Amino acid sequence: MSGDAPTLFETMNPATGAHLATYAVDDEAAVEATLDSAADRFDAWCDRPIAEREALLEDVATVLRDGKDDYAALITDEVGKPLDQSRAEVEKCAWVCEYYAERAAGQLQDERLDGAPGTKTYVSYEPLGPVLAIMPWNYPFWQVFRFAAPHLTAGNVGLLKHAPNTLGCAQAIVSIFREAGYPEGVFSSLQIPTDRVADVIADDRVAAVTLTGSTRAGRAVAAESGEALKKTVLELGGSDPFVVLDDAPVETVAEQAVTARTQNAGQSCIAAKRFVVHEAVYDEFLDAVTQRMESLTVGDPTAEATDLGPLARADILEQLDEQVRASVDAGATVVTGGEPMSREGHYYPPTILTDVPDGCPAAEEELFGPVATVTAVPDESTAVRVANDTDFGLGASVWTADAARGEALVPEIDAGNVFVNQVVQSDPRLPFSGIKDSGYGTELSKHGIREFTNAKTVWVE
């Protein structure tokens, strides 16, 4: 490491600014040992019957539920999300484990194909090896488990590079797999800074890479992985449109809109960030959303009454504030909120912007916090144009009293996930992916579990 490279990571409580813990940065010897262990473990792990790997994953779900309150408290301490949301995150992790524990073998079974007469032809799905998972802080358990549950069960081994502000969660997750009976080396954590990730990607012991993070990080990982000709799956940023048609039940939709924008303090790639509203219901919708945003309880994330906790780090708060200020300077109107709260911790209030001009940050960039833009449109075709007027393409939702009408718009919307009359979400049963600057590759469902396998064509004559 260079002389100015960090030797310690420090985690902080975003609600209070208090120090939580200090973690040593892995030196080169520690990284070598972790990579060796992963590579050495792979052959025995992938040869283990998949029924045994499924049974171990079922045990992981049990460990998660048994320790749910403790794990939720850790998430809240490191990230700042309200405790009920942290508990829901842990529960969702248990669900994805149960989903693949029940279905992985069927999703990976050989697929018979029609070949030449007199031949036996099929595709087998075989694991690739150690997979590096570069994971973010915003859902510090869920993002990891939606990678680990399918891909470890498929026979790969995992190397987690977690965000520095959630290293307590990283260590807890490693412990969960060990407590469930996973052999050492099947799932490990690398405590390294970002500038050392490229060396790990280039290492011959690493077979593939997955990243959930920013578009900028995705470009870097894609370039580094491409240089080494390694498979990647990238789930990147989003600026999801929330399209409200003129027949939508406004009061019900407004309730969903606030949830879609403020869950986890708005720090989600699939949060609804741009409300695109038919002018016939625009005023009613804006009033209803404003009222609900202003009624949210912002405060201590450990208090059960809290709806909105702090942002996860000081730099995230500073960036969001800069984006809002620049947008207002460009002509946007603040309906409610609009500046950091004067209190201890990294708090930003629920905020609504209207009259957002083209070219300003609120129109062009991802706002990673509880800030919504609301735009009036005269008709469906304009709504689709505005929805697609972004470099991102992760999720989108359409709200209407006529589901068939909403479904008819789906082919016109450029996104990896389009939901009609439902908030965009990731679900173990459904494939999840983005297009454009939101990345590529698939997570979850039978499609996701096959991403880090060799789809091997077999011809027997």
Q: Is 70 exposed, middle or buried (0-12, 13-18, 19+ CB in 10 A)?
A: exposed
Residues 278, 210 within the same domain: no
| Same domain assignment for residues 352 and 230 | no
**Domain around 138:** 8-236+438-460
394 with 416: CB under 8 angstroms?
A: yes
Same domain, 148 and 259: no
CA–CA dist 63, 347 (Å, integer): 33
Whether residue 406 lies inside any domain: the answer is yes
3 state SS of 225:
helix
Do 191 and 49 share a structural domain?
Answer: yes
Q: Which amino acid does the sequence have at 175?
A: S
Distance CA 138, CA 85 (A): 12
Tell me, yes or no, whether 184 and 256 share the same domain.
no
Q: From the candidates 78, 269, 360, 451, which is the catalytic residue?
A: 269
Residues in the chain: 461
Same structural domain for residues 407 and 452?
no
Kindly state whether residue 226 falls inside one of the protein's structural domains.
yes
Give every residue of the chain whose pLDDT is below 70, as ranges. 1-5
Residue 16 located in a structural domain: yes
Q: Are residues 215 and 251 in the same domain?
A: no
pLDDT at res. 2: 41
Hey, how many other C-beta atoms are within 10 angstroms of the C-beta on 114? 7
Same domain, 357 and 252: yes
Check which CATH number belongs to the domain holding 55 and give it: 3.40.605.10
Residue 308 lies in a domain: yes
Residue 274 in domain: yes
* 352 lies in the same domain as 255: yes
Give 25's DSSP letter: P
Q: Same domain for 412 and 449? A: no
Cα distance between residue 419 and residue 146, in whole Å: 20
CATH of the domain at 268: 3.40.309.10
Answer whether residue 2 is part of any domain.
no
Q: What is the pLDDT of residue 1?
A: 36
Count the neighbouring beta carbons within 10 Å of the beta carbon of residue 425: 16
Q: Considering the domain boundaries, does residue 387 fall inside one?
A: yes
Our answer to whether residue 269 is catalytic in this structure is yes
Q: Respond yes or no: is residue 235 known to be catalytic.
A: yes
Q: Do 244 and 232 have their domain in common?
A: no
1 falls within a domain: no
Active-site residue identified among 235, 366, 443, 451? 235
Indicate the number of domains in the chain: 2
Residues 448 and 414 placed together within one structural domain of the fold: no
Can you name the residues that pair with 120 across neighbouring β-strands?
460
